[in-house]
Amino acid sequence: MSSFREKSLCSPQVNYKKVKTYTDLSEFKAKNPVVTIGTFDGVHRGHRIVIERLKEYAEKYGGETVLFTFYPHPRLVTNPDEKNLRLLTTLEEKKQLFAQFGIDHLIVYPFTKEFSELTYTEFVKNVLVDKIKTHCLVVGYDHKFGKNREGGFEYLKECAREYNFEIEKLEPLLLDDIHVSSTKIREALQAGNVKKANEHLGYEFTLHGTVVEGKRLGRTIGFPTANIESSDVHKLIPGYGVYAVRINIEGREFKGMLNIGTRPTFNQNADNRSIEVNIFDFEEDIYRKGITLVFVDKIREEQKFPGVEALVEQLKKDKVAALKILS
């Protein structure tokens, strides 16, 4: 985990490798393309095994790495009424991670209704072979693609023989005998288990947003908070609770504690979740400015207190706990 502090997604000093990015294939060109395909939500430690193997094969074949992903997320196209999609990473966050982990070419292919109707045979022939000219295809253990998710590994082996490209399937990464997957990381975050999620991600979960107008109740008790609106409606928000976070504002990093919940001590009938961060040793007006929150660990569950005095006493304890976690 220590390496993440040197390569944080909110760190302005990181120098990423230049990645050639394409939204169509008319100008795509790569030497002996070594390709992998997927949504890669989270770009977690399991995904990075695929990326590292991709790089190994590129070196073996004197080729270049190509990561083929989609935008928007396929579920938003195949099910226009989708309301429950929650993603670990936005497209921009994924681009930064792909650059950080050394991909040569990134194809962000427009996922349309028409594209969703392609059979896997058509996708392999028309896209992987004719347009990308794939030399080697690397897929994860659970790879399924194409209409009705027909493109499994056994079928791909047949395609590889027919169209003369190499193929390899990678087994899942195990941590404590548990498969690392985007689904399990989402479940951990929704349960507030940030530490477990970060271990599986291989970096600390990050949320980008904008500071919006709040009720300014925190100012009245000595703990002013910035109210945050997420920059992406589909970005996953961790479960209710109080968290130790690092905060980046215009390239400057601060420490703080954040509450996700309904502010039960102040609001008896709250239906909407709020995201409020108390930034330590900070008094500037940042209304409408961009802000990045890096989740380090959970301090406690959200709870209702009998009165403001009890809340203030707990907030003092929370600040001590947050500073210890962030030290």
Q: What is the pLDDT of residues 26-83, one digit of tens each?
A: 999 999 999 999 899 999 998 888 899 999 999 999 999 999 999 999 899 989 888 8
Phi and psi for 154 in degrees, rounded to 5? -60, -40
Predicted local distance difference test score (pLDDT) of residue 133 = 97
Single-letter code of the amino acid located at 30: A
**What does the block give as tokens for 225?**
């908070």
Dihedral sign of CA atoms 5, 7, 11, 13 in order: positive
**CA of residue 284 relative to chain centroid, distance:** 29
| Domain segments of the chain as ranges | 2-172, 205-326
**Residue with structure tokens 């790089």?**
55
C-beta neighbour count of 327 within 10 angstroms: 6
C-beta neighbour count of 118 within 10 angstroms: 17
| Crossing angle of the two packed helices 194-201 and 182-190, in degrees rounded to 10 | 160
CA distance 179 to 172: 6
Can you give the length of the chain in residues? 327
Q: Is residue 6 classed exposed, middle or buried when 0-12, 13-18 and 19+ CB atoms within 10 A define those classes?
A: exposed
What is the percent of the chain with per-residue pLDDT over 90, rounded to a whole number?
A: 64
Radius of gyration of the chain (CA): 22
Single-letter code of the amino acid located at 14: V
Is 32 in a helix, a strand, or coil? coil
3-state helix, strand, coil in the chain (%, to 5): 30, 25, 45
**Contact criterion met (CB below 8 Å) for 214 and 301:** no
pLDDT tens string 234-257: 999 999 999 999 999 999 999 999
DSSP 134-154: -SEEEEETT---SGGG---HH
User: Which element (helix H / strand E) includes 206?
Assistant: strand 206-212
Largest CA distance in the chain: 73
Q: Is the pLDDT of residue 128 over 80?
A: yes
Predicted local distance difference test score (pLDDT) of residue 298 = 98
CB proximity list for 10: less than 8 A, separation 6 or greater: 206, 246, 248, 253, 292, 294
pLDDT tens string 163-176: 999 998 877 666 66
Nearest residue to 132 (alpha-carbon basis) of 35, 263, 56: 35
Phi and psi for 56 in degrees, rounded to 5? -60, -45
Nearest residue to 147 (alpha-carbon basis) of 181, 113, 109: 113
CATH class of the domain at 2-172: alpha beta
Q: Is the pLDDT of residue 150 over 90?
A: no
Predicted local distance difference test score (pLDDT) of residue 108 = 97
Phi and psi for 263 in degrees, rounded to 5? 50, 60
User: Which element (helix H / strand E) includes 92?
Assistant: helix 91-100
Predicted local distance difference test score (pLDDT) of residue 4 = 37
Q: Is the pLDDT of residue 317 over 60?
A: yes
Same fold, 2-172 and 205-326: no
Per mean pLDDT, which range of 1-15, 41-55, 102-116, 267-281 is the poorest? Answer: 1-15
Q: Is the pLDDT of residue 291 over 70?
A: yes
**Contact criterion met (CB below 8 Å) for 54 and 67:** yes
Domain 205-326, second-level architecture:
Beta Barrel (2.40)
pLDDT tens string 204-236: 999 999 999 876 665 667 789 999 999 999 999
